[in-house]
Structure 1
Amino acid sequence: MITTELLTKTYGRRTVVDDLTLTAPAGAVTAFLGPNGAGKSTTMRMVCALSRPTSGTALVDGRPYTELVNPGRVVGQLLDAAALHRGRTGAEILELALLTVDRPARHAVELLERVGLTDAADRRVRAYSLGMRQRLGLAVALAGDPRALILDEPFNGLDPEGIRWFRGVLRDFADDGGTVLLSSHLLAEVQTVADRYVVIGAGRLLAQGTAAEVVGAGSVRVDATDRSALLAALTAAGLDPVTGTDGVDVRASADEVGRAAQAAGVPLTLLAPASSALEDAFLSLTAA
């Protein structure tokens, strides 16, 4: 578990993080959201003891990062893929990372395979694309076989296949009981993997919790070959459908919508979460 309590960071008269209390529990992917300059990166740096808090606490597994005997075995971090040594090869970087966390350097081979960089093992990082550096950065974060991951904008530079692969890695890690705290501006990608959300603005907590708690009542997009019959069925069920160009949006659960359509004998061609729900909630929360 990763927690902060009343965490504050000021630079002179400017407050970057303001009494921030958040929780990223074990067994879940927690998305850390906020506009540029909201304080996300500063918060992550304080959790990892790369920046000293002005006040408040940040704990990993119930202890400050500086009190962890071998931090890399508890929490892996990917805060800046550009920070990888450009003159070393991918294999060399992983071998050094493994030695740092007291694990045999031979595990570099399996880590490179895990992140899809086996063919680039002997290439120097200066020749890596940003997406390849993100993959290598994740391998470094996983070098200590940690129980938690802290990732700052990990999807940057990845192509669609890479993003899908990265999501799968995070999902598997959390499903195995791990803790994931990640920041991202790609709300549509975050929505497909996150279990919980923490939203901040100007360094302050705006909302945190599950999707239902942050976004509010669930929204779904539904459609049918006979859209008129679908609209009539939803209205008769007391729901409030809103017709769009590619379907009908309903502020209700998928179960409610499906039952209403079934009761009216209307076959559905689409029933899925409305992709705009998180984006709308995010913009509403951070508008001020």
Structure 2
Amino acid sequence: MERRALGRTGHESSVAILGGAAFWETTVDVVAAAFERAVAAGVNHLDIAPQYGMAEDLAGEVLPQYRDGMFVACKTLQRDAAGARAELERSLGKLRTDRFDLYQMHAVNSDEELAAVLAPGGAAEALVRARDEGLVGAIGITGHFQQVPRLFRTALERVDLDTVMLPVNAPMLALPDYRAHFAALLDVAAQRNLGVMAIKAVARGPWRTEDHHATTWYEPHRDPAAIREAVRFTLSQPVTGFCMPGDVSIHPDALAAAEQFTPLPQDEIEARIAAADRADALVS
């Protein structure tokens, strides 16, 4: 599997990132199988968070045997420094490690949330301190919705972050405002050598029925060819990699898509954006 530099972190990341959101409510055996499958395919990067149900507890049973070769990224949803520090220390204990390679402010989706984490005594202070202490190697910010490229540019004016994580798929880039702010964010990332990670690569759109066939909070693509082309689109953007979706049953096809990746030409990227249905964008 291809590897790409995660900005200035020094890590060469697999283009597929093992997403701990898939471990929300499952078993240790399922998590162990997911790790084994991902590592066999060449994955060397785990993304996980306390908000993913039982994920930290379950992954903590499995991660130690892979820790030396695995870049571990965790997150905090706490908005104040004290809460973020406490959550960081809890996560270290649950995952049975003494250090995170990357620690991120999780789901900063609004101006109000951004103001809270950047305020005096906000979560950003705790992340900077943890990096200074060597408790985490790098720090970043993540978000889900239409506003996040704009919000992240503001965050980068205030805090020396190492990475960003946000949705990258054709329906989101079909939104003119999102695409414009995403392009501006990519310019800043290139200038500062920041890692850019994608989420929602295989999102088909919001759920439109009560019958959910996956554990993701959005409707994912299920057809292997559709997954392959969705991943191909995302990895053809200037990103380090994509988080595999929050359903372990989709992981084999997502891994295959990453292994088979070939870049799209720019005219095909533009055609896919033009053809995308904006109603499929996960805007809120």
TM-score by length of 2: 0.39
Structure with the bigger percentage of helix? 2
Q: Which protein is bigger by CA-based radius of gyration?
A: 1
TM-score by length of 1: 0.39
